[in-house]
């Protein structure tokens, strides 16, 4: 019993000096943990409660705590003032959630100027007006290179007054700009409508031009510098053409080039290049009548003479065979 009473009389306050200090439990408390009290000092139930204030707090920590609380209050008040202001913000779908749901607080994205679509636009530097669907000549980035040909797909203003504009264009490719390069049947004013779109400033337009269809281009009485024609669509990625099949003419079986002179046979209506029929362009221009080798009268006379000689030979051979058969029959009767 004495031992037990001695243990009960042990002063628990000595543990404070023997237990290690627990650092890191709180950045504002540098002393010991106060999760316990000395039983010797307990007189009533109120003594078992934890102290409400932190002990051994440095002045710097107190200043830091006050500064942090002040910043937190100022930030929350500024945000609430912005939300509760009279400005009505539209509730945009938050990018962090699905588009079907909306945030409880309105998102405030950065507003961009809306693009104004124009039906027409006047180019002051050339005093011309362009519209959607017009073919234009655009300045090349390389000096000495001919102007690019493009078709205007859309016009949009870059400012509220519409004084500046950009054009969305679809490029025409020249034959030398394609994968296969320029061929013999390509015309000097031929272009291909590509699948290449681009957005350019309207100030790069040098003038307007006209891109004809192939049939209308061949009917022009005179071709100007601003006249072009297109009969193919071109895929800039694969190098394929649409259509991929065209009619061919002459012995060389090449498509028609409207820049080259060709002569037509009056009999079969086929077209031929002067070089393919053994003549020159100057001589072909002086021809009043032309027949190809198969339809020429001399060739027809030669064909007729050949057919007549063949018929004569056939008749002679038939007559000889009849005479031979008759002599054989006579010899057979005499022997009998």
160 and 130 belong to one structural domain: yes
Q: Is the dihedral of CA 141, 145, 151, 155 positive or negative?
A: positive
Domain that holds residue 275: 261-299
Q: For 168-191, write each residue's pLDDT tens digit.
A: 999 999 999 999 999 999 999 999
Percentage of residues of the chain with pLDDT beyond 70: 56
282 and 183 belong to one structural domain: no
| Per-residue model confidence (pLDDT) at position 334 | 43
284 and 237 belong to one structural domain: no
pTM of the model: 0.55
Q: Is the dihedral of CA 253, 257, 262, 267 positive or negative?
A: positive
Pick from 173, 136, 174, 175: nearest CA to 153: 136
β-bridge partners, 302: none
Residue 13 lies in a domain: no
Residue 62 lies in a domain: no
182 and 284 belong to one structural domain: no
Q: For 188-237, write each residue's pLDDT tens digit.
A: 999 999 999 999 999 999 999 999 999 999 999 999 999 999 999 999 99
Q: What is the tally of structural domains in the chain? A: 2
132 and 243 belong to one structural domain: yes
Helix (H) or strand (E) run with residue 149 in it: strand 148-157
Q: For 46-94, write each residue's pLDDT tens digit.
A: 766 666 554 444 555 666 676 767 666 665 555 445 445 544 444 444 4
Residue 295 lies in a domain: yes
Residue 98 lies in a domain: no
CATH code for the domain of 164 = 2.30.30.490
């Amino acid at each position: 019993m004495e031992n037990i009473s001695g243990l009960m009389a042990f002063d628990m306050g000595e543990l404070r000096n023997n237990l290690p200090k627990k650092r890191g439990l709180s950045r504002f408390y540098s002393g010991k943990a106060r999760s316990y009290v000395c039983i010797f000092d307990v007189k009533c139930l109120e003594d078992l409660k934890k102290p409400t204030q932190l002990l051994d707090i440095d002045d710097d920590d107190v200043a830091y705590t006050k500064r942090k609380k002040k910043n937190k209050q100022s930030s929350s008040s500024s945000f609430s003032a912005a939300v509760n202001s009279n400005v009505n913000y539209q509730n945009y779908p938050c990018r962090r959630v699905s588009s079907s749901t909306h945030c409880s607080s309105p998102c405030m994205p950065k507003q961009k100027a809306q693009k104004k679509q124009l039906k027409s636009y006047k180019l002051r530097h050339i005093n011309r007006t362009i519209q959607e669907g017009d073919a234009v000549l655009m300045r090349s980035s390389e000096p000495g290179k001919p102007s690019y040909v493009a078709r205007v797909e859309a016009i949009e203003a870059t400012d509220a007054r519409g004084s500046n504009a950009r054009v969305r264009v679809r490029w025409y490719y020249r034959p030398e700009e394609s994968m296969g390069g320029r061929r013999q049947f390509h015309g000097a004013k031929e272009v291909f409508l590509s699948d290449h779109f681009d957005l350019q400033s309207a100030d790069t337009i040098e003038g307007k031009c006209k891109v004809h269809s192939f049939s209308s281009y061949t009917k022009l009485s005179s071709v100007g510098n601003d006249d072009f024609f297109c009969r193919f669509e071109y895929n800039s990625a694969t190098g394929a053409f649409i259509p991929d099949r065209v009619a061919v003419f002459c012995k060389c079986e090449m498509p028609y080039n409207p820049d080259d002179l060709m002569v037509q046979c009056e009999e079969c209506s086929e077209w031929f290049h002067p070089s393919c029929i053994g003549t020159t362009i100057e001589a072909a221009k002086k021809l009043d009548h032309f027949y190809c080798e198969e339809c020429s009268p001399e060739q027809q006379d030669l064909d007729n003479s050949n057919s007549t000689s063949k018929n004569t030979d056939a008749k002679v051979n038939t007559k000889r065979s009849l005479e031979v058969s008759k002599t054989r029959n006579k010899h057979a009767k005499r022997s009998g």
